[in-house]
Amino acid sequence: MVTIEIDGIELKVNNGSMLIEAADEAGIRIPRFCYHKKLSIAANCRMCLVEVEKAAKPLPACATPVTEGMKVHTRSPKALAAQKSVMEFLLINHPLDCPICDQGGECELQDVAMGYGGDVSKYAEKKRVVREKDIGPLIATDMTRCIHCTRCVRFGDEIAGLRELGATGRGEHMEIGTYISKAVSSEMSGNVIDVCPVGALTSKPFRYSARAWEMRQYESIAPHDCIGSNIYLHTRRGRVMRVVPRENEAVNETWISDRDRYSYEGLYSADRLTVPMMNVDGEWRETEWDTALEAAVSGLKDVVDHSGAPQLGALIGPSTTLEEMYQVQKILRGLGSDNIEHRLRQRDFSDQDAAPAFPWLGTPLAALETANAILLVGSDIRREQPIAGHRVRKAHVAGAAVFAVNPVDYDFNFALEHKLVVDPRRMTSALAAIARHLVTITGATNPAGLDKLVQSPEYDTAARAIAERLRQAGRSTLLLGASAINHQNFAAIRMLSALIAELSGSTLGYLSDGANGSGAWIAGAVPHRGPGAQAVQTSGKNLAQMQGSGMAGMLLVNCEPDLDLAEPQSTMQMLKKAEFVVALSSYKSPALLNSASVLLPITPFSEMPGTFVNAEGRWQSFEPAVAPMGEARPGWKILRVMGNLFDLSGFDYMSAVEIRDELQKLVGDVAKDNSLAWRAPEAGQIDGGTLVSISDIPIYSVDALVRRAPALQKAQKLLGPGFRISAALARKIGLKDSQEVKVKQGDREARIAVEIDDRVPESCVWIHADISDASKLGAGYAPIVLEKA
């Protein structure tokens, strides 16, 4: 601690902090442009010049470390003269077009100019003009307005970890751009809009649609991933106009992913279901709520009466609110069925009884960045969970070693110290190899059945190195991502990961699907456990079992059966065979119209209250920002009425909060414990074939809302086609890049152009499941045949 004096106020501040931090903490406002507390110091704008006693020149507060006894004047004549002259310089070449600038009203330059600018410009020369640049569908540029603070450049370098924007040219000719014209590809690129102090970088979709002062701001929670980034919804006249981050150091800091920022466009898709609909003799009709609800309830009752409650099931999208999930399971269980499932993309349920009370991250999110070693198991973390990926990157920047056992050599914004990029069929043996080395290193007794799983001597060097580093790290963690959790051998992967975690002293964490994949377990949206992981009398059917046995009646909640499930084909067949299907959905789609009998319009997150539980187990509730669209209603209200119509007790809720409170009281503190006692897992084989397909969900295809956000869809297209094979495999088949190939999987066939990509193992085909022809194909990891077309 040192004592300094700013503007006559004595302050005790931390050694090594900069003057501007000390001033900010004391509420003394020093004007600034280039300084940003999350970015490195550039000291280039010179706006923060202040007078420091005994210094010959004014010093930049952002880059001047405090020293004992320092006396600083931020508004003395000398300081003000410096600040005003910098302001004058900044404005001479800045267009004075605030009335047509999107930043107008929320512009740092405009704000500071009010305090430090002159009324009349002495500059009589021509102003600089800079050509606009196209950097993709998300960010609009007006580079003439750029004040060269380089915040965006530093954001890319330091936070996104991709050097996409840079400064080219010298002096007045300096320009910010991509150098070689291209779209920025960072999954967090939109944050440059917030860091840009002027209107040089603005939101392309939002552009010209509203003024800052016309909008209201509502707190909310982002609905796409297991982080639950804190956001603001900005609304005008009952419509969400844009989404911006809401600072929360423990969760998303000051950032949000592009997915969270731009998905709001999907709220106003033409597909929105705004009126209840019923299929009457093969024809869809819009109808009144009463009629629809009665039809829905009596249809489902008929199923129970005629086929028995075990013939009734529910599929719930993992981004459904806690309150809705809890009510759905309460209805189903009230009717006598435990067939409740939210694990829509999971394939292996064999060890579900050994699963933790809820799949948690194993550590607070913020603590991820303090790990010394991180092993990613089956995760393209950047695209699956951008904010968690950012924490991993921070750990890496701070010196952590990051490893991966992955089916594809995903491109990360951090370097992997060792990686095992393996055919998914070898995933378990790769993990077993690591575990085996740990047994040797620690001298632990060799768990029965482990040796049998180690089949791949070629992984040995990397496996040993990973084992050693994890063991030495002190603070280390394993993270299970989507391609582990949704793997055919998930049980074995989980068991081996738990063993590695235990032997190496690491934490084990899950990066679960959706915004409420953790909340789903807490709410009891699984067939074998009630709320708070309480045991049920008899376990219901999980997804695989429902698909296997067929169901007479189904309730779908936030679930698009052709896109949200691991096995779209068999799911569609199951629904077609069912007698009666009710779908609660915010959207209508051909698949829903094809498979449901009644469609009930429920609101998306922006139009209702609710709670998401993130991977840390953090309960985050939000309120509606806008009124429901059309006749759509919050799911909790619909489910409440359905509960009443079913004559079930305990459905007298007056508000969503009551539901949450009831659940909270019921479950108390749900245990956070991912540990697992060893039981030799069966390395269930993925059957035969020489080639296997790896299909993961592209970043902007994870749920109904993002799939309908046009700007994100454009951005996803730019990432390139999604049917990729290695050069070696292409050579074997005799294929060139972009050539069409005949694809067979099961009884399905398609013709698709291949892209050559050496990040894919030779025995695999990497399918981004959104490509239109891919949905004709089957499951995630399944044998596939390629033939020259």
Partner 1 sequence: MANEVCFSTIDKKIPWSLQTYREQGGYDVWQRVLKQKTKPDEIIAEVKASNLRGRGGAGFPTGLKWSFMPRSAPGQKFVVCNSDEGEPGTCKDRDILRFNPHAIIEGMAIAGYTLGATLGYNYIRGEFWEPYERFEAALAEARAAGLLGRNILGSGVDFELHSHLGGGAYICGEETALLESIEGKKGQPRFKPPFPASYGLFGRPTTINNTESFASIPYILRNGGPWFAKLGKPNNGGTKLFSVSGHVNKPGNFEVAMGTPFSELLALAGGVRDGHKLKAVIPGGSSTPVMPADVIMDCTMDYDSLAKAGSMLGAGSVIVMDDSTCMVRALARMSHFYYEESCGQCTPCREGTGWLARVIHRIEHGHGKNEDLDLLDDVADKIQGRTICGLGDAAAMPVASFIKHFRAEFQYHIDHKKCMVGGV
Nearer CB in complex with partner 1: 143/666: 143
Work out whether 115 is an interface residue with partner 1 (CB under 8 A): no
Binding mask 92-111 for partner 1 (x = CB under 8 A): xx------------------
Work out whether 68 is an interface residue with partner 1 (CB under 8 A): no
Work out whether 150 is an interface residue with partner 1 (CB under 8 A): yes
Q: Check: CB of residue 500 under 8 Å from CB of residue 469.
A: no
Neighbours of 399 (CB within 10 A): 7
Shortest separation between residue 398's beta carbon and partner 1, angstroms = 16
Shortest separation between residue 48's beta carbon and ligand FES, angstroms = 3
For the chain, state the CA radius of gyration.
28
Torsion of CA 616, 157, 194, 702, to 10 degrees: -50
Helix axes 322-335, 656-667, angle to 10 degrees: 70
Shortest separation between residue 49's beta carbon and ligand FES, angstroms = 7
Neighbours of 16 (CB within 10 A): 9
Nearer CB in complex with partner 1: 196/267: 196
**53 phi/psi in degrees, rounded to 5:** -60, 140
DSSP H helical ranges for 135-211: 151-154, 191-195
Neighbours of 348 (CB within 10 A): 18
Residues 6+ away with beta carbon under 8 Å from 637 = none
Applying CB under 6 A, which residues contact ligand FES?
A: 32-35, 43-48, 60, 62
Nearer CB in complex with ligand FES: 63/785: 63
Shortest separation between residue 341's beta carbon and ligand FES, angstroms = 53
Nearer CB in complex with ligand FES: 42/691: 42
171 binds, among partner 1, ligand FES, none (CB under 5 to 8 A by kind): partner 1
Nearer CB in complex with partner 1: 93/569: 93
> From residue 201, how far is each of 103, 147, 686 by CA, in Å?
9, 11, 48
278, amino acid identity? M
100 binds, among partner 1, ligand FES, none (CB under 5 to 8 A by kind): none
The SS3 of residue 340 is: strand
Question: Which one of residues 96, 100, 174, 593 is an interface residue with partner 1 (CB under 8 A)?
Answer: 174
Element (H, E) at 293: helix 289-307
Q: Check: CB of residue 58 under 8 Å from CB of residue 51.
A: yes
Work out whether 41 is an interface residue with partner 1 (CB under 8 A): yes
Shortest separation between residue 36's beta carbon and ligand FES, angstroms = 9
Element (H, E) at 22: helix 19-25
Nearer CB in complex with partner 1: 77/171: 171
Q: Which stretch binds partner 1 (CB under 8 A): 56-64, 486-494, 618-626, 674-682?
A: 56-64
Binding mask 251-290 for partner 1 (x = CB under 8 A): ----------------------------------------
Q: Are strands 764-768 and 507-510 parallel, antiparallel or unpaired?
A: unpaired
591 binds, among partner 1, ligand FES, none (CB under 5 to 8 A by kind): none
Q: Which of 467, 553, 461 is nearest to 503 (CA)?
A: 467
Shortest separation between residue 411's beta carbon and ligand FES, angstroms = 33
Q: Quote the tokens at residue 519.
A: 């909340």
Q: Check: CB of residue 494 under 8 Å from CB of residue 292.
A: no
Nearer CB in complex with ligand FES: 20/365: 20
Q: Which of 746, 711, 755 is nearest to 189 (CA)?
A: 711
Nearer CB in complex with partner 1: 58/359: 58
Shortest separation between residue 143's beta carbon and ligand FES, angstroms = 19
Nearer CB in complex with ligand FES: 46/618: 46
Q: Which stretch binds partner 1 (CB under 8 A): 50-58, 251-259, 510-518, 563-571?
A: 50-58
Shortest separation between residue 198's beta carbon and ligand FES, angstroms = 13
48 binds, among ligand FES, partner 1, none (CB under 5 to 8 A by kind): ligand FES
Could you write out the three-class secondary structure of 114-142?
A: HHHCCCCCCCCCCCCCCCCCCCCCCEEEC
Q: Quote the tokens at residue 749.
A: 């066939």
The SS3 of residue 584 is: strand
Q: Are strands 598-601 and 580-585 parallel, antiparallel or unpaired?
A: parallel
Shortest separation between residue 779's beta carbon and partner 1, angstroms = 47
Shortest separation between residue 399's beta carbon and ligand FES, angstroms = 28
Question: Which one of residues 148, 224, 528, 660 is an interface residue with partner 1 (CB under 8 A)?
Answer: 148
Shortest separation between residue 69's beta carbon and partner 1, angstroms = 18
CB-based burial label for 734 (10 Å; 0-12, 13-18, 19+): exposed
Work out whether 76 is an interface residue with partner 1 (CB under 8 A): no
Q: Which stretch binds partner 1 (CB under 8 A): 172-180, 190-198, 530-538, 709-717?
A: 172-180
> From residue 248, how far is each of 126, 232, 620 by CA, in Å?
44, 12, 12
Which DSSP letter does residue 686 get?
P
For 197-248, give the DSSP string: SSTTEEETTTTTS--GGG-EEEEEE-SSSTT--EEEEEEETTEEEEEEE--B
Nearer CB in complex with partner 1: 20/86: 86
Residues 6+ away with beta carbon under 8 Å from 247 = 230, 253, 254
Nearer CB in complex with ligand FES: 33/622: 33
The SS3 of residue 650 is: coil
Q: Check: CB of residue 439 under 8 Å from CB of residue 446.
A: yes
Q: Check: CB of residue 109 under 8 Å from CB of residue 32.
A: no
548 binds, among ligand FES, partner 1, none (CB under 5 to 8 A by kind): none
Nearer CB in complex with partner 1: 112/296: 112
Question: Which one of residues 47, 416, 427, 578 is an interface residue with partner 1 (CB under 8 A)?
Answer: 47
32 binds, among partner 1, ligand FES, none (CB under 5 to 8 A by kind): ligand FES
Give dist(CA 450, CA 571) in Å, integer. Answer: 35
Nearer CB in complex with ligand FES: 59/559: 59
Bridge partner list, 621: 611
Q: Check: CB of residue 41 under 8 Å from CB of residue 62.
A: yes
Question: Which one of residues 119, 125, 249, 283 is an interface residue with partner 1 (CB under 8 A)?
Answer: 125
Shortest separation between residue 30's beta carbon and ligand FES, angstroms = 8
Give dist(CA 43, CA 20) in Å, integer. Answer: 11
665 binds, among partner 1, ligand FES, none (CB under 5 to 8 A by kind): none
Question: Which one of residues 1, 114, 120, 172 is an interface residue with partner 1 (CB under 8 A)?
Answer: 172
Nearer CB in complex with partner 1: 125/281: 125
Shortest separation between residue 25's beta carbon and partner 1, angstroms = 22
Which DSSP letter does residue 762 get?
T
Give dist(CA 409, CA 420) in Å, integer. Answer: 9
Shortest separation between residue 34's beta carbon and ligand FES, angstroms = 3
Shortest separation between residue 74's beta carbon and ligand FES, angstroms = 12
35 binds, among partner 1, ligand FES, none (CB under 5 to 8 A by kind): ligand FES
Q: Check: CB of residue 379 under 8 Å from CB of residue 479.
A: yes
Question: Which one of residues 12, 54, 122, 665 is an interface residue with partner 1 (CB under 8 A)?
Answer: 122
Give dist(CA 60, CA 32) in Å, integer. Answer: 9
Number of residues that bind partner 1 (CB under 8 A): 38
Work out whether 399 is an interface residue with partner 1 (CB under 8 A): no
Nearer CB in complex with ligand FES: 83/589: 83
Binding site for partner 1 (CB under 8 A): 41-47, 49, 56-58, 60, 63, 65, 82, 85-86, 88-90, 92-93, 122-125, 128, 147-148, 150, 166-167, 169-174
